[in-house]
Structure 1
Amino acid sequence: MNRPPERGTIAVWHRSVTSGWMLATGAVSMIGLLVIAVLAGEHRLMALWLLCVPVAFLVTGAVTVTVAPRGVTVRSAVLPFLRRRFPLGRIESATARWTRPIEIGGWGYRWNPGLVAVSLREGDALWITRTDKTRFVITVDDADTAADLVNQLLRQEDGTR
């Protein structure tokens, strides 16, 4: 974001990111497991339990990211009620940089001590440092603008325009 928004305006940044291979893998696996559950009664229970895997692919395979005065929200495009919210008061800073999935633990939703990530591809990523020093990373296009807006909103909240 090159210039600050005018007084009285509300700046909001919103992007979606999709991983075609994750959605395809989830859909094909789900169909296959449902077919097994219907046709092979002796394997029905196992097939139904294994449905957790394709559901995870589908839920994390497409996400939307929003930066607004309330903070940062990342939600599943498939099941929008599944989301992570980071209120502005719990964010210390934001940066953007090129990120590879190997740096943050792989593809999909990742958790490591001190780092949580949603990685759907290699590329631009929004890195949020929280006030408890943990970091949240999401690979998303135009992460520079998102990071600039987060930092600008943090300055406004501190009163240091």
Structure 2
Amino acid sequence: MESQQGDSGRTVWYGSQFSGWMLAVGVVLAVVLVGSAVFVEEYRDVSLVLLMVAAAFLVTGGIKVTVSSEGVTVASALVPFLRRHIPLGRIERASARWTRPMEIGGWGYRWKPGMRAVSLRAGDALWLELTRGTRFVITVDDARTAAELVNHYLPSRHEDR
């Protein structure tokens, strides 16, 4: 995790998280399914459909998180154009706390009523309380620093200074 000055002189925080087991499962599944599709004609269609499962493990097995004066962005480390950006205007407040995957719906990109999450392991997580009453949670190391920076940039914080 690191913080650095952006072009505008404002601090930007970067973090990343990888799940070794998710990436390994994705690679093994992809190799087995592609091999099955190539060498066993009768399983070709089902193998190619199941290849989406392997892709899901690979896409969500590593993430990069950015906090800036624009908001919070979480993107796939392997397919960076797959991203979710939450603008500061949609964030009520941020906090950090220890989080277990089952608390937020499991591993990977999760959604349930009132909550979206990107969870790769138990541990430190950035919790964003959104203005519409929902939450977005990202498991990433040094979430406390990320939460402090989000709260620093929130418009309501600047009005109190």
Q: TM-score range by the shorter chain?
A: over 0.9
Which residue in 1 is equivalent to 2:58? 58
How many Å apart are 1:18 and its aligned residue? 0.1
Query: Structure 1: 5+ residue runs without aligned partners?
Result: none
| Residue equivalent to 1:25 | 25
- Aligned CA RMSD, in angstroms, stands at 1.4
Between the aligned partners of 2:34 and 2:42, the Cα distance in structure 1 is 13
TM normalised by structure 1 equals 0.92
Counterpart in the other structure of 2:16: 16
Deviation at 1:9, TM superposition (A): 2.7
Matches within 5 A, 1:11-160: 11-155=11-155, 158-160=158-160
In structure 2, list runs of 5 or more residues that go unmatched: none
Instruction: Figure out how many residues of one structure are paired with residues of the other and give that number.
Output: 155
Shift of 1:141: 0.3
Provide the TM-score with structure 2 as the length reference: 0.92
Q: Secondary structure of the residue that 1:12 maps to in structure 2?
A: strand
Greater than 4 Å deviation, 4+ residue runs: 155-158
The percent identity for this pair of structures is 60
Deviations along 1:54-109, whole A, 9 cap, x unmatched?
10000000000000000000000010000000000111100000001110111111
Match of 2:150, as an amino acid? V
- Residue 120 (structure 1) shift: 0.4
Residues 31-66 of structure 1 show CA distances to partners (whole Å, capped at 9, x for unaligned) of 000000000111101100000101000000000000
Contact 2:116–2:136 (CA under 8 A) maintained in structure 1: yes
